[in-house]
Amino acid sequence: MQIIITGGGGFLGQKLASALLNSSLAFNELLLVDLKMPARLSDAPRVRCLEADLTQPGVLENVITANTSVVYHLAAIVSSHAEDDFDLGWKVNLDLTRQLLEACRRQPQKIRFVFSSSLAVYGGTLPECVTDTTALTPRSSYGAQKAACELLVNDYTRKGYVDGLALRLPTICVRPGKPNRAASSFVSAIIREPLQGETTVCPVSESLWLWISSPATVIHN
């Protein structure tokens, strides 16, 4: 049994990998795939790290195989980056997701496909209580890409090609290190930087409501 994490070199991917290794789940290999991989988990038992661009032709054929049981698809171009580079956002966030689903579909076994969506699928005025049936109203390219991918995962699951699940993740804080190009990176920055004696700017109103969660809670759930 093989488990794959795309975006396995990222903050959340590394947290998920550690949690899986410490769990009672039986698997032979945990394959972490990213453009660049940190060395932290590279020597752990059952872990294989692969530095690769999954959007390049021929790569996926050597990643998803008849031994693959579960795919956690975390790899993405984050929100502000996807807004600034329209073509790259759609290439990675939508096209790659479709290619991964197709690679899973070609296998003889039904693969569990867990897609990391985002609260960015919602925008504008929302009801006080947002549920699974609340209409998706993205106001950004990133949100539109995530919403489109949710529909893809749903349809591939309906057809029986994969056992799919889309999880709409909240803003995760506090993230260590330097800010990334996510629109919500300020949420970590307004906590992280003052603790390090650095100044930072809060770009939103104090009255803005945010849905946030710790990394540990997201991984546990």
Protein fold of 170-215: UDP-galactose 4-epimerase; domain 1 (3.90.25)
Convert the pLDDT of each residue in 162-183 to its tens digit: 999 999 998 888 877 777 777 7
* Mean pLDDT, residues 121-150 taken together: 94
Convert the pLDDT of each residue in 210-220 to its tens digit: 778 888 999 98
* Mean pLDDT, residues 138-143 taken together: 96
Averaged pLDDT score across all residues of the chain: 92
Contact 165, 114 (CB under 8 A): yes
Convert 15-43 to b/e letters by CB count within 10 Å (16 or more is b): ebbeebeeeeeeeeebbbbbeebeeebee
Q: CB-based contacts of 206: which residues, under 8 Å, 6+ apart?
A: none
The CA R_g of the chain, rounded to the nearest whole Å, is 18
Burial label for 170, CB within 10 Å (0-12, 13-18, 19+), is: middle
Least confident of 3-12, 55-64, 152-161, 203-212: 203-212
- Superfamily holding 2-169+216-220: NAD(P)-binding Rossmann-like Domain (3.40.50.720)
**Number of Cβ atoms within 10 Å of the Cβ of 85:** 15
Is the pLDDT score of 42 beyond 70? Answer: no
* Mean pLDDT, residues 66-87 taken together: 96
Partnered with residue 112 across adjacent β-strands are: 70, 163
pTM: 0.89
Closest CA to 166 of 120, 105, 202, 214: 120
Considering 72, 122, 142, 161, which one is annotated as catalytic? Answer: 142
Is the pLDDT score of 54 beyond 80? Answer: yes
Q: Among this protein's residues, is 142 annotated catalytic? A: yes
Convert the pLDDT of each residue in 189-211 to its tens digit: 778 888 888 888 888 888 878 77
Convert the pLDDT of each residue in 122-136 to its tens digit: 998 888 899 888 999
Q: 139: pLDDT confidence band, cut at 50, 70 and 90?
A: very high
Contact 165, 153 (CB under 8 A): yes
Q: Cα(142)–Cα(76) distance, rounded to whole angstroms?
A: 9
Intervals of CATH 3.40.50.720 along the chain = 2-169+216-220
